[in-house]
Structure 1
Amino acid sequence: MTNKKRDLTLRFLAEPGDVNFGGKVHGGAVMKWIDLAAYANAAAWSGKYCITAYAGGIRFVAPILVGNLVEVNAKIIYTGKTSMHVAIDVVASDPKKLESQFTTHCIVIMVAVDENGKPTEVPKWIPEEEEDIELEKSAIKLMNMRKEIGEEMQAQVKYLF
């Protein structure tokens, strides 16, 4: 499979309905955009309906203002049997200036499902460029770290309820 479907960018203007009480676009709106881009990217790669299994490491680096041109860039960086790890970067700019500022980054894991909602296989992505090899290594490292964190969080459940 070619890498033509491996990355995708959503572009739009931040609207007044997206702002928080401080006048900046609120994190919930950004998270929605991230989920939309991850879905579109994973569905394009797999050719299947996909669901969000995990969104983590969300880093809000700079604010997005009403009227900013927002770009949500999604890129497959690892594929498992039924899952796709999607790296998301969000940039924003004043459309009159087009000087983009990096605002947000995260990793989203999407799972392809069949018509019964059961996980189904996805095409394998094989990195070829050095940067892509490093991105895949990073995705695998993060996956292992998430397993450890998940185990630790599960151990705490007995003390919380």
Structure 2
Amino acid sequence: MYKTVDSSRVSISQLMQPSHSNFSGKIHGGYILNLMDQIAFACASKHSGSYCVTASVDTVDFINPIEVGELVTMKASVNYVGSTSMVVGIRVESENIQTSVKKHCNSSYFTMVAKDDDGKPKKVPGLIVNDKNEVKRFLKAIKRMNTKHQRKTEFDSINFSLENYIDQLEGYRVKVELPEH
């Protein structure tokens, strides 16, 4: 079975209140992450027809701060599916409701895994991509996964040798003081 990207799109909007702010008066990033996790769950569950859990979160960059009183809108769609996992792309925008000025605040990718009634990973429907952006998002998800796998393989290998990398630290604000053995 296959489902279109559109069939599982989810959008939520919420007014940011003082209780959501941090000590500097901006909306707390942890609160935004909580909302993002909720919309990722809703989107993935809608696509899979199952309970889903968050497996990982990739690239959370807070681009612009969100102010108290702004309307935050989050849009989520399934960008990629594996056999039991889905990558949900989320875009976060805020809007000053007095001036109508909108800001892009964050984009992120949540990997969600569908679970059956026994808590075991469950196969998810395939994805029908029907426009250029959807194809591009699917390809970008593959690229992010391959890069992550390559980095893990490179640095977690038993053959990893610090001597092969130490010169790459030149020019960075790091001082290497390793004990001699």
TM > 0.5: yes
- Which amino acid is 2:63 matched to? V
- Give the counterpart letter for 2:62 in structure 1: F
Task: Determine helix, strand or coil for the equivalent of 2:34.
Answer: helix
Q: TM-score, normalised by structure 2?
A: 0.81
Among the aligned pairs, what percent are the same residue?
33
Q: Would the aligned equivalents of 1:5 and 1:41 in 2 still touch at CA under 8 Å? A: no
Could you tell me whether the CA contact under 8 Å between 2:4 and 2:129 is conserved in 1? no
Q: What's the C-alpha RMSD, in Å, of the aligned pairs?
A: 1.8
Provide closer, same or farther for how the CA distance between residues 80 and 59 of structure 1 changes in structure 2, counting only shifts above 3 A.
Answer: same
> By how many angstroms is 1:126 displaced?
2.3
Q: Which structure has the greater CA radius of gyration? A: 2
1:61 and 2:63 aligned? yes
Task: Name the counterpart of 1:47.
Answer: 49
Shift of 1:100: 1.5
Structure 1 unmatched runs, 5+: 157-161
1:99-138 equivalences in 2 (<5 Å): 99-138=101-140
The one-letter amino acid paired with 1:128 is: N
TM-score (norm 1): 0.90
State yes or no: 1:88 paired with 2:90: yes
In 1, the alpha carbon distance for the partners of 2:31 and 2:145 equals 26
Task: Determine which of 27, 35, 41 is the counterpart of 1:25.
Answer: 27
Q: Where in structure 2 are there 5+ consecutive unaligned residues?
A: 159-181
- Matched to 1:55, the amino acid is V
Shift of 1:155: 5.2
Counterpart for residue 147 of structure 2: 145
The verdict on how the C-alpha distance between 1:153 and 1:89 changes in structure 2, with shifts beyond 3 A counting, is farther
Equivalence for 2:173: none
CA distance in 1, matches of 2:80, 2:146: 13
> CA separation of 1:2/1:137 partners in 2, compared to 1, >3 Å: closer, same or farther?
closer
Contact 2:114 2:121 in 1 (8 A): yes
Change (3 A) 1:95 1:82: same
Q: 2:27 & 2:72 partners in 1: Cα distance?
A: 11
Q: Report deviation, 1:2.
A: 4.1
Alpha-carbon displacement from aligned partner over 1:125-156 (angstroms, at most 9, x marks no partner): 02121111111100000011121233356459
Is the 8 Å Cα contact of residues 93 and 104 (structure 2) preserved in structure 1? yes
Q: Does the CA-based 8 Å contact 1:81-1:122 persist in structure 2?
A: yes
State whether residues 4 and 128 of structure 2, in contact with CA within 8 Å, keep that contact through their aligned partners in structure 1. Answer: no
